[in-house]
Amino acid sequence: MANRKIVVALGGNAILSSDPSAKAQQKALEETAGHLVKLIKNGDDLIVTHGNGPQVGNLLLQHLAADSEKNPAFPLDSLVAMTEGSIGFWLQNALQNALLKEGIEKEVASVVTQVVVDKKDPAFENLTKPIGPFYSEEEAKAEAERTGATFKEDSGRGWRKVVASPQPVDIKEIETIRTLLNAGQVVVAAGGGGIPVVREEDGSLVGVEAVIDKDFASQRLAELVDADLFIVLTGVDYVYVNFNKPNQEKLERVSVAQLEEYIKEGQFAPGSMLPKVEAGIAFVNNRPEANAVITSLENLGALIESESGTIIEK
């Protein structure tokens, strides 16, 4: 099948290995682009989304290290925008070069994307997403008094600032993304879950201190562009039940109802596989005629040829 609209959500390992330098991340993305181009060669229209967790964390540390009255650190929404811009550039560049190598004439555009969240989302009351450096309890208390931020103990490793992780409601630039897609361009969008903004009474949008889960933002984007396929990339070719146990079993074609049973059994790790499975379920529930796939970047070729990977159906 070709000429499908596909949204591909890249996992963090597609960008960052152990070396956080710009050069190493660009190198990793060259390899990533080589795999993504297989979908374009197949005749599919592509939107690529990506994470930015480690990058925004590193940028935050750099800002905090240089923070002074003359050179104040930026707020989180601006840091998300900055990493969306830099990773967008790397990805756009890598995809353009990969297309050139294949002799495919196609434009690639990245869109700095504002994702609208609800001001009344309970996530703003219950802060769960740790960001930035580890502090001792004393340092965390001092920092909380100085900035008004909330700090929580993070699994015995120290105290970290926590921010809200609200659900994505809408994507401000959706018309721009649709226009580019319909013009046959490859689009990079909603990087790092997008820049979180809330709508004020007068309709204006304001950035907020939050982090949107990239898999849920990608799923919302896939729905809004009426994607035929939503691919969530991770470190493994398949989703497994009883993972790493003697009775581990890979899931090939699986229904929403089966996956919901597995979630109840606690089969998927929160913070790693669970959000990917939940995003896949939400997409298929809202677009029953379409499928979601969870697989690895390296498995994209096999997915095109033989539908290899975990395919979620209604």
- Residue 292 in tokens: 């979601």
Catalytic entry in 161, 214, 280, 291: 214
Judged by DSSP in three states, 195 sits in strand
Torsion angle of C-alpha atoms 182, 184, 185, 189, degrees rounded to 10: 40
The CA-based angle 239-306-313, given to 5 degrees, is 50
Crossing angle (nearest 10°) for helices 256-264 and 273-286 = 150
Among residues 13, 58, 93, 299, which one is catalytic? 13
Mark whether 13 is an active-site residue: yes
- Out of 129, 132, 161, 191, the active site residue is 129
Q: Token pair 């196609």 is at which residue?
A: 106
DSSP assigned state of 193: G
Q: Is 87 helix (H, G, I), strand (E, B) or coil?
A: helix
Distance from C-alpha of 110 to C-alpha of 191, rounded to nearest angstrom:
9
φ, ψ of residue 310 to 5 degrees: the values are: -85, 115
| C-alpha torsion angle, residues 206, 207, 211, 214 (rounded to 10) | 80
Give the residue among 158, 293, 171 at the shortest CA–CA distance from 236: 293
What is the 3 state secondary structure string of 5-51? Answer: EEEEECCHHHCCCCCCCHHHHHHHHHHHHHHHHHHHHCCCEEEEECC
Active-site residue flag, 70 = no
Q: Say if residues 140 and 166 touch (Cβ distance below 8 Å).
A: no
Active-site annotation holds for 12: yes
The active-site residue out of 11, 194, 276, 280 is 276
> Among all residues, which ones are annotated catalytic?
12-13, 129, 214, 276
